[in-house]
Chain A
Amino acid sequence: MDANGNWEEDDDEEFEFSRNYFLAKELASSSAKKSKHKLTDIDVVDEQELRDAASKIEPNHEYEITLLLDSYKTMYPEWIFALRCGFGLLMYGFGSKKVLIEDFASTELTEYSVVVINGYLQTINLKQVVIALAEVLWDQMKAKQRVSHRDLPKSQQPSNSQSMDDLLTFLDQAEIEDGDFFVCVVIHNIDGPGLRDSETQRYLARLAACARIRVVASIDHVNAPLFWDKNMAHTQFNWCWYHVPTFAPYKVEGMFYPMILAHGSASQTVKTATIVLLSLTRNAQSVFKILAEHQLSHPDEGMPISDLYSVCRERFLVSSQITLNSHLTEFKDHELVKIKKHSDGQDCLHIPLTAEALQKVVLEIN
C-alpha cells in the first residue's frame, strides 16, 4: 500500500541520517589524528587587500541566475493569490532572496502598501516598525474616509505612546469596508540576527495574525522553523512555503559576518561600524561622535565615562546616567567601544578603530 511505502521511505531517510552521522564521527576521529594544520599556516594577504578583493569578486553564473529569477515570475500570480486569501508567504532555499521578493512586491503589490524589514541587521526596534505600520494603515483609512465620507475616531490614531498591544489591536480590528485591504510586511530574513529572540518572534506572529497585515518573509538558516510552535507556524503566520533557490550572493546579509581569514575578527571596519550607527537613534550617534572626537584629539587616551557624561549633559543628549549607560551598552554589544582601565583606576572608553577609519565613520554618520 502507499501508506506502507511512505513509512518505509521515512525509515530509509532516518537510517541514512544516522549512518551519515556515524560516518562523520569516524572521519572526525581519523582527521583529528591526521590534520594538525593551523589556520595561521595560511599565507593570508593584507586585510584591506582581502576586503578590496571581496568587493570585487566577479559574479559567477550571472546569466543563469537571472534566468532563474525570471522563471520565478510565473509564480507571482500564485503568490499574490495566496496573500489575498489570507496566507503568509515564506521563501526558502540557498541564495539571497532579497531582490526576488522586492521585485515581487514592486510589481505585484502596487495596490497595497509595502513595508520592508531588514532582519539581517543587528538591531531592529519592532515597536517602531509596528508604529510605522499603524501610521501607514491610518493614512490609507483617512484616504478611504475622504472617499466614503465617514468620520474616523481620533482616539484610534496611532502614536508613540500607545502600547504594543494597542497597536496590534488597531491593526487587527481596523474597520475598513474593503475586505481585500491589507498592508504587506516584507521581512528579509525573518531568522536574521535582529529578529531571533523569542519575544520578537512572538510579536511578529501576532503581527502576522492581524486581519490587515500580510507577511512575506524569507529564511536562510536550516533550523529556522524551530523558532515557531504550531500555533505560530500553522495559525498565526499561516505559512505557505515556497522553495526558491537563487544562488545570488548574500552581499548585504553577509555584511556583519567576520571574514574567516582576517586576523582579529573582533575589529570593526568602517562600513560595519557605519551600518550599526546608522541603525541607532540620532542621540546615540551624537554620543558616539563625542567619543570619536575625543579619541581623534587624544589618540593615546581613552575618554573617562564621567567626562563623557558631562559633555552629553551639556549638549542635552542624555538626561541621566541610566540613559547614557543604555547607549554605552548598545555600543559594547556591537563592539563599537571597549572599556579600559586608566592609570588612575578610572574606566575609559576606547573605540577599536584607527584614526583614519574613525574619521571616515564620523563623516559617514553626519
Chain B
Amino acid sequence: MDHRPQAWGRPRDDVYGAYDASYLQTTGPKTATQAPVVTGTSVIAIKFKDGVVMAADNLASYGSLARFTDVKRLRPFLSTSIVGFGGDVSDMQFLDRHLNELAIDEAYEHDHAETPSPSDDSTTTTQPPRGQLNAANLHKYLSKLMYRRRSDFDPLWNQILVAGLDSASKPFLASVDLRGTTFSSPSLATGFGAMLAQPIMRRFAATEEDAAKLTREQAVDVVKECMKVLFYRDARSLDRYSLAVVTKDGVELREDEQLEKQSWAFAERIRGYGTQTV
C-alpha cells in the first residue's frame, strides 16, 4: 500500500490503472469573459443648456432572442448623475452593486449631509455637497476601473455613458467602454446608436455651443426621435425605454416610456434583402 500523503484519496493505480491527471492542468490561456451573453443595445445621450438627457430601451437580448423586456439600464448615482449601460447585463449588475457600495462610502465620508430644507433657495440646496463625487469624477473612476479590468484580460463587457454635471456645474457627458477608452462629446451613443442616432443628434448639437442653445424640451424630443429610429432599424431593440434628465435639480428618471407616433410606411420601400425578387 502506498501511504504517502500525495496518494491519499486517489484511486489505487494497481486496481484502476494510472491516474489520468490531464483534467488538473492549470497551464494554458486564461479564459475570462470572451463574449457578452445577455446584452443591452444602444444608450444615447445629448447635452442641453441645463443638463443632459439620456435614454436606453428596456430590452436585454440573449443573442437574437428578446429575452428580458423590463430591464432598467439607466442607473442614477447619488441622485446627481446617471449611468447608462450597453453590453453585458451581468457585468452591468456587478457595476451597479459596486457603484451602490461607492455611494454608501460617500454617505460615510460626508458625514450625514444636511437635509435640504424646503424654505432654502432651490439653486443652492440641490448642489451636491462640496467634495461629493460628481459625474466627471464618477466617469474618471469608471474609466480607471474598466481599463484595469481590460489590462487583467478580464474586461467588463460594457459601453457606458455617464451624464451629470462637472465640478463647474456645467453639463457633463462622457463614455467609457470595455477597453477603458474614454470619449466626450455634446452627444454620445453606444452600440448601434453610434451609427443610427449619433448623426441625428449631431444635427442639433454638433458643438458645445449648439448644445448650450438647446432647451430641455428640444433635447428630449431629439432623443425620443432617435429612440424611434433605433427601434425601426435595430433588430435588438424594443419600443419601451427609459428616459432620464439630469440637471442641477437632480435626476428625473422615467423607466416605462413607450415610443409614440411610429410610422412604418418607409418599410415598404426598403429593397435588397430577404425573399424579395425585385
A and B associate in one complex: no
Q: Taking beta carbons and an 8 Å cutoff, which residues of B are in contact with A?
A: none
